[in-house]
Every structure is written in C-alpha cells, then in structure tokens.
A and B are shown apart, each in its own frame.
Chain A
Amino acid sequence: MMVTSESELAEAIAGAKGPLQVVGGGTRLPVSGEVLRVGISGVKLYEPGALTLVVGAGTPLAEVEDLLAAEGQRLAFEPMDYRPIMGSEGEPTIGGVVAANISGPRRVQAGACRDFLLGVRFVDGQGRVIKSGGRVMKNVTGYDLVKLMAGSWGTLGVLSEVSLKVLPAAEAVATVVVHGLEDAAAIKALSRALGSAYDVSGAAHIGQGTEARSLVRVEGFADSVVYRAGRLRELLGGFGEISVEDDPARNAALWKRIRDVEDFAGRAGDVWRLSLKPSDGPVAAAALRAAFGAEVIHDWGGGLIWALVPAGADLRAAMGDLPGHARIIRASADTVARLGRFHPRPAPVARLEAGLKEKYDPRGIFNPGLMG
C-alpha cells in the first residue's frame, strides 16, 4: 500500500487490520506485515538564509541533497547510503534516514541526524496526526518528541513531514593521514586531534599493519583548512609518517568509503555496528579479532566500530563488560531472530520503551518486533 498524503496515511493507519511494515525508499527491513510505503514527497519550505528545510518524509534523499547543493548547503550529519553494504536497491528517503537516525563521519563535529531535526509531523497507531517541534532552531515548548521519533525506526509512528536544520557546505576540505599505526596508537592520535582547537570533522581508522591509515578531516574556508591541516600535521607528527590529502575528489571518495562502509560491500559474513567509548575501540577490536577473526573499521574517533564477522557470530558476548551497544546491520533472518537486531536494554529502560510503544501504537501494528 502506498500513501502520498498525510490524510491518506492517517486513513490507512486508522483502517489497518493488522501489522504494517513501514517503508520509505523500499530498502526494506525484514519485519512482517503489509507494506505501508510512505510516498509523501516534496519540498514544503526551503529558506537558505534561515538554514531551514521542511520536506515530506517520503522525499528521496538524493532530491534533498541536490536541492541543498544548488544553494551551497548540505545535511551536515552526512547520512550514509546503506545500499552498498546491504546489497539493496531502492531510493532512500529522508523519512527513513530520520527514522533510523542515520549519521555519518561528521557526527564527531556536527552531531547526529537527531541534532538537526527541528520538527516532525507523524501519524500514531490510532491514526492521529501529531506534530512536535517546528521549523525554528530553538524550541523548548513542551516535550521533545522530535528526538523520540528520530531513531524510533517507525515503531512509534509514521513520519509524514520533517523539518531540518541545514548547514553551509564547506568551501574546502583536507585529510591528514597518519600511516601504519596499530589501533591503540591510532585512536590516541584521533583523540589528540579531536581534543584540539582545530575543529576536526572526521576521525577514522582503517586497515592494519603497513596498510593502516588514520584519517583526520578538516573542512571550511580554504585558508583556514590549510592552516588547520598544517597544525594537525605538527600535532600528530610524533605518531608516524604523515601525509595530507587536499584533492577535493579524492577526499570525497575517501570519506564516502568510510561513511558507506564500502570495504564490506559484497563480502560474505555479517555486518555489525558497535557504539563504544572511543578509547575502548581498540580493546573491542582486539576482542573481535581474537574471537571471530573480525575485520574492523573505526569511525567517530574510535566510538563507532563496523565489524565484518562470520555469519552467526554473537558480538555482544565478545564485548564483555565494555560500556556500549552492538547492533546487527546485516545478517540472516535466523541470526537476527536469535540475537535481536538491537542491543537489549536493562529491564527498567526496556519497561519505559515498552510503555511508550503501548501509548503510541496500542495495537502494536508498526514494524512489530523490530526494536525488541
């Protein structure tokens, strides 16, 4: 079933006889139920001078990005394209990005998708149209249901419209590359850079041995980028051999590779995503390598690990006591059913989440079982 307006959406939900699988771009999550495709598309308002954009939730992400690029602006949270690792097709929508709170490498500097979400309109499980937030950048009027909806994966309501804060695209970019570091030294280097005054907008570590690369990105006005890349080069000088990449196209390709986890595309095995305290990144990576021979990519200065592991592996068991959480991104339905896609939450928190689900979706029709 495809809806193209908010009122159609509300009707469809109010009249639903059973579970609904909420779908934006058709890159589907494996849950049961009738497909409810959100095709509410189009730009309602775009004011570059106020950095605000209001769009239908079903608007293709690519359309949003093109629109912003024409004004020299962008979605600063750098949403990834999951299609390469998922091996899926379809056109990702802005609603899907918001529902999944998808945020890329720039999260370390700019924040996550939820930090740019100014307002939402959605339809709850009873078919009621609800709005929260608005289109202005500062708004503390009532509870922040906007944050609640970001990252709720369509389990609490179906988004019809989202308002986003956008930012100027950078005039220039450079990446300071440290070669050949072990994980522990690499994460130290990234921490040093992130803890500096030089406004680092990406901090990742890929590869091992002599192939290892620790990447520190700066963006902004051209002179400023040159200056900060130079200072970072000095700051990280003690860690190892350093080079600076300042070619725009090569930078774009490099950070797209990190953002979209391209190294794992088309490879056999399961893909997991771990959120950690950055300094625990090397500890977790070592544990995953020892337990499963995992291949690991560090982003967010060590705070995010992408792991490629043999099918069926349980990474949560291997994490031990490290604070953080692990989410399955790609695995067989059996593995997802056995381990759960989302990391289990402590009982009192799980109770609150279940309570909210019960209030917003009393019939339990939205993406049943997805967030567990």
Chain B
Amino acid sequence: MQMPTPDQTILSRKDHIVRRLRTVLPDDAVIDAPEETRAYECDALSAYRCPPLAVVLPASTKEVAAALKICHEEGVPVVPRGSGTSLAGGALPTEDSIILGVARLNRVLETDYDNRFIRVQTGLTNLSVTGAVEDEGFFYAPDPSSQLACAIAGNIAMNSGGAHCLKYGVTTNNLMGVKMVLMDGSIIDLGGPCADMAGLDLLGLICGSEGQLGVVTEATLRILHKPEGARPVMMGFDSNEEAGACVSDIIKAGILPVAIEFMDRPVIRATENFVGAGYPDVEALLIVEVEGSEAEIAQQLARIIEIGQRHNPVEIRESGSAEESARIWAGRKAAFGAMGQINDYMCLDGTIPVSQLPFVLRRIGELSGEYGLGVGNVFHAGDGNMHPLILYDANKPGDLEKAESMGADILKLCVEVGGCLTGEHGVGVEKRELMDAQYNADDLDAQMAVKDVFDPAWLLNPAKVFPLAATAQRRARPMAAE
C-alpha cells in the first residue's frame, strides 16, 4: 500500500507549525515528541503505521476551529481521529500531517426525552451514549461491535453499522444534526432536533465522508425506547443454499427481525473450540433475534421456526431464557476473537445482494483453495453485509500481500454480483485503490467535486477514499495558502 511522499517543506517547518498551534491550544494539547506521537501512528488496520508531524487534542469546537485555521494557513494536511478503531486505515496519518483527535470532546450536552434526542460532543464513545440514557429506558441504536471504544466522531465519519441495523438502520438513519468545523476554521451547524433539512441534505453527505469534509465536534442523535424484551433462535443447516433461502423466506414472510447473523463451518468450529457455545457442527448457522413483549416474541419466533423447518434444518434451538440467549450469542460475539486464536486475520466488509449468498460463499471457498489461505465467514445476513476473515501469518514474508490480494478478489466479486466494496467499515486507505472496480471516472469525479467544495485545498485526510492517481492533481499544493 502506497502513501503520498511527505511534503519536505512541511517537515522542515515543523517547529514553526507546532509553535503556532501552541498559541491557540493549551500546552498539553499539542504533542510533538516522537515517543508520544507514536501512539497515533495507526488505527486498527495496524499493518500500516506512520507517526504524524504532531498531534492536537482540542477540548472545544473553538479550539478545533483555531487549530484548523492555522493548519489551513500553513497548508498542512489534517487527519481527524476519534478512537482509532477504524479497520480501513481511515485515521492513518502521513509524516507531514497533523492528527486532530477529538478524545477530549467527551461531554453529553443535552438529553431530551420528550423530543427523543441526545446532543453530545463527538469524542464520546458509542456505548456511553446509550449509557447516558439507559436509566430512562432509552438507547442509541447503532451498535458496532467496537462500541466500547469507538467514538461517535468515527461512527459518523464511517457511517458505522451494528448488529441491530436490520431493524434500526445505520448511523446516517439515526443522526439528526452535527456541528462541524470546515478546514478554513469556519463553524457550521447542519440539521438538529427537527426532521428534514431546510435545503440540500448536507447532513447525509457528511455522514460517511471519512473525515474529508470537516471535523465534526457535536452530534444530535436519535434515541429510542428500549423494546420490552428480545430473544434469539439458532438454526443449523447442512448447506449454505438452505440457510440463504431461509433468510430470504423469513424476510418475505413479513417478519422484521432485529438481527439475522450467519456463521459458516470454519467459524463455527473455531468458536466452539474457543468458547464452547454448544453449536452443532454444520455447514451454516443462523442466529435470528426478534424483539417485543413476551407474547410478541413467542409469536415471531414460532413463525421463524416454522420457516426454518421447511429448509431441512439439522438443529433448531429456541432460547427460552436470558441464559440461553447469552449462550446462543456467545459464539457469535467471540467469533473474531476465536478466529484470531488460529492466526492473524484480515477482516473484509463487502456487501452482496442476499440472493447471491450461496454463490459468493462457494466462490470464496474456491479462492481460499487457490490462495492456500483459510477463510471463515461471519456476517449480517439480513442485509448481505459479509465479513470474510482471511487467515494469514503476519510473520511469514509475503503472506500479508497474499491475503490482501485475495481480499481484493473477494471484494471485486462482491461488486460483480451487484454489491459493494464496503458495507460499514469505510474505504480508508485499505480499499482506496479498488474504488474503480465499483465506480467509473465520472462517478468518482462527482464525489471528489464534493470535497472540492468543502475543502478546496484538499488538506483534510487527503490520501484516503479515492485512488491516489485520481487525486494527485487535487492534492498537489506546493505551498501554503498564505
């Protein structure tokens, strides 16, 4: 993976730039000592690392604006950072960039149960948003598995999803407004506690823009009352075709589960060895969870089980209690960890039309054979968001490259069958060079035109999302804007 050559003139002006940043930020909010900036050299795509020029940790929107204004004047690229859990390298710095971390912007600003929203600073973690409202019986729906660590800032930038998004949608469907700072230091508000935008849906555009259009400092998020209860059923099948058909039949029957999770044999076996959730040794396992009152749950599960019965199940196990639910979920929740016990893995994130499930799983199996690398599949089947985990050995020379090239083949396959490169993790640097598998030059140009408007100098997280060659001219900025 390639990153642009750092701008030598910026490196040579480091002291000057840091000094200027210290004039608008407290001393401890500007970090430039190499031993300290190293903590920011990567995100969760840890195969790629590069310490930044410096790190700033503003504690208010005003400080963010002041820092950005200086970087704008100095022509220094800025990489916004939440908690650094991106799996796509979204928060990966370059040597000539400033990391702007929002970790200190971590306050709840307003909770409004009558109007069902919460307003927070974006450094707050996803889980603590729900934490702030759960005493009143409310929750914030998007729940990425990284929710203990990841920040609302990163969730908005990546338009993150979660296990429950089949019913509740992803971040963009639950985001009502933002306060953000543009690269030139101007502060804007988009949306808010009322539905709809007055003009163009710029809020929708910001969500998922991977830190390239502005630094989001505050967010208004929709909160919902918790359902009365929830319970899953687990169903094992001897073929992916049957499991796939079962998913589609459940959906066609008018049932809208909160989650339909899918695991294939390699993952089932790995999790059994790891946590012993008591899964049957089958080709494909579904966990389907529904919500509501006790009677509503029982009724929906009965319908789901009836559909499952039509697809030659090997085993169907309905949870009858909180303990049984936890046991059914235990394997799924430990799936990534379990695969990690076997070897290093690379987690993909393509989405496919649900009808293509059996075909794509078969093709992935073939690719696994061709490359000689193991693959496990665990994913959100209701919406076709796959997470193939490619196993490789990071210490074995060439293995990472092999895994990457196999990953690229799988993602291209997702696009070929009518899907996309990434369902929830974002493009970052990881899938940047694959973008032209999904979009042609005009499509990409229409997207880059948006960045031209928000960040004409292409200083915000410039080396991400688009193929480097496609952005080369736009990123070329021989001198500071002064």
Residues 274 to 303 of chain B near chain A (Cβ within 8 Å): 292-293, 295-296, 299-300
A345 to B187, CA, bound (A): 14
Interface centre among B115, B251, B452, by most chain A C-beta atoms within 10 angstroms, is B115
CB-contact partner of B439 in A136, A142, A147, A199, under 8 A: A142
CB-contact partner of A150 in B201, B295, B299, under 8 A: B201
Known: A49-B249, A144-B208, A348-B186. A138 touches B355 (CB 8 A): no
Interface centre among B114, B165, B380, B383, by most chain A C-beta atoms within 10 angstroms, is B114
Residues A138 and B249 in contact, CB atoms below 8 Å apart: no
By size class, the interface of chain B is 35 or more
- When distances are taken between beta carbons in the complex, the residues of chain A under 8 Å from B425 are 140
- When distances are taken between beta carbons in the complex, the residues of chain B under 8 Å from A52 are 353
Residues A303 and B208 in contact, CB atoms below 8 Å apart: no
- When distances are taken between beta carbons in the complex, the residues of chain B under 8 Å from A67 are none
For A, the interface residue count at a CB cutoff of 8 angstroms equals: 82
Residues B442 and A128 in contact, CB atoms below 8 Å apart: yes
A290 beta carbon closer than 8 Å to chain B: no
Among listed B332-340, B366-374, B415-423, interface-contacting one: B415-423
- When distances are taken between beta carbons in the complex, the residues of chain A under 8 Å from B186 are 348
A253 beta carbon closer than 8 Å to chain B: no
Interface code B420-434, partner A: CB below 8 Å = 1, 0 otherwise?
Answer: 111111110001000
Known: A278-B114, A304-B195, A360-B446. A138 touches B427 (CB 8 A): no
B109 beta carbon closer than 8 Å to chain A: no
Known: A137-B383, A138-B161. A145 touches B198 (CB 8 A): no
CB-contact partner of A138 in B165, B195, B203, under 8 A: B165
CB-contact partner of B195 in A197, A303, A343, under 8 A: A303
Among listed B13-21, B168-176, B394-402, interface-contacting one: B168-176
Residues B204 and A148 in contact, CB atoms below 8 Å apart: yes
- When distances are taken between beta carbons in the complex, the residues of chain A under 8 Å from B187 are 348
Shortest beta-carbon distance, A183 to chain B, in Å? 14
- When distances are taken between beta carbons in the complex, the residues of chain A under 8 Å from B203 are 147
Residues 168 to 226 of chain B near chain A (Cβ within 8 Å): 169-170, 172-173, 182, 186-190, 192-205, 207-209, 225-226
CB-contact partner of A169 in B253, B254, B452, under 8 A: B254
Residues A151 and B169 in contact, CB atoms below 8 Å apart: no
Residues A171 and B115 in contact, CB atoms below 8 Å apart: no
Shortest beta-carbon distance, A22 to chain B, in Å? 15
CB-contact partner of B248 in A50, A129, A136, under 8 A: A50
Residues B435 and A303 in contact, CB atoms below 8 Å apart: no
Residues B446 and A114 in contact, CB atoms below 8 Å apart: no
A130 beta carbon closer than 8 Å to chain B: yes
Interface code A77-99, partner B: CB below 8 Å = 1, 0 otherwise?
Answer: 00000000000000000000000
A214 to B349, CA, bound (A): 45
Shortest beta-carbon distance, B403 to chain A, in Å? 21
Known: A115-B169, A352-B454, A356-B453. A134 touches B196 (CB 8 A): no
Known: A50-B384, A138-B161, A138-B384. A145 touches B447 (CB 8 A): yes
A323 beta carbon closer than 8 Å to chain B: yes
A138 to B163, CA, bound (A): 12
- When distances are taken between beta carbons in the complex, the residues of chain A under 8 Å from B196 are 101, 112, 151, 275, 325
Known: A111-B169, A150-B204, A359-B452. A140 touches B225 (CB 8 A): no
- When distances are taken between beta carbons in the complex, the residues of chain A under 8 Å from B438 are 134, 141-142
Residues 285 to 322 of chain A near chain B (Cβ within 8 Å): 300, 303-304
- When distances are taken between beta carbons in the complex, the residues of chain B under 8 Å from A147 are 172, 201, 203-205, 207
- When distances are taken between beta carbons in the complex, the residues of chain A under 8 Å from B97 are none
B351 beta carbon closer than 8 Å to chain A: yes
Shortest beta-carbon distance, A103 to chain B, in Å? 8
Residues A303 and B194 in contact, CB atoms below 8 Å apart: yes
CB-contact partner of A168 in B161, B201, B254, B300, under 8 A: B254
Residues B251 and A137 in contact, CB atoms below 8 Å apart: no
- Chain B, Cβ-Cβ closest to A194: B116
Shortest beta-carbon distance, A319 to chain B, in Å? 11
B450 beta carbon closer than 8 Å to chain A: yes
Residues A138 and B442 in contact, CB atoms below 8 Å apart: no
Interface code A227-258, partner B: CB below 8 Å = 1, 0 otherwise?
Answer: 10000000000000000000000000000000
Interface code B436-472, partner A: CB below 8 Å = 1, 0 otherwise?
Answer: 0011001110110111111000000000011000000
Shortest beta-carbon distance, A325 to chain B, in Å? 4
- When distances are taken between beta carbons in the complex, the residues of chain A under 8 Å from B194 are 275-277, 303, 323-325
Residues B385 and A138 in contact, CB atoms below 8 Å apart: yes
- Chain A, Cβ-Cβ closest to B229: A197
Shortest beta-carbon distance, B25 to chain A, in Å? 23
B271 beta carbon closer than 8 Å to chain A: no
- When distances are taken between beta carbons in the complex, the residues of chain A under 8 Å from B252 are 48-49, 71
Residues 211 to 266 of chain B near chain A (Cβ within 8 Å): 225-228, 248-249, 251-256
What 18 additional pairs, Cβ within 8 angstroms, besides A134-B419, A145-B205?
A111-B173, A132-B447, A138-B383, A139-B423, A140-B425, A141-B420, A141-B435, A141-B438, A142-B438, A146-B204, A147-B201, A150-B201, A156-B200, A227-B296, A279-B112, A348-B186, A349-B188, A349-B199
| CB pairs A–B below 8 angstroms (17 shown) | A48-B251, A71-B252, A131-B443, A134-B419, A136-B423, A140-B208, A140-B425, A141-B422, A142-B427, A143-B205, A191-B114, A195-B225, A221-B300, A275-B194, A323-B194, A344-B198, A356-B453
By a beta-carbon cutoff of 8 Å, the part of chain A in contact with chain B is 47-52, 71-72, 101, 107, 111-112, 114-115, 124, 128-132, 134-148, 150-152, 156, 167-169, 171, 188, 191, 194-197, 199, 221, 223-224, 227, 275-279, 300, 303-304, 323-325, 327, 342-346, 348-350, 352-353, 355-356, 358-360, 371
By a beta-carbon cutoff of 8 Å, the part of chain B in contact with chain A is 112-116, 137-138, 158-159, 161, 165, 169-170, 172-173, 182, 186-190, 192-205, 207-209, 225-228, 248-249, 251-256, 292-293, 295-296, 299-300, 351-355, 380, 383-385, 418-427, 431, 435, 438-439, 442-444, 446-447, 449-454, 465-466
Give the 10 A-B residue pairs with the shortest CB-CB distance, closest first.
Answer: A147-B204, A49-B248, A168-B254, A138-B423, A355-B453, A325-B198, A137-B383, A359-B449, A343-B198, A277-B193
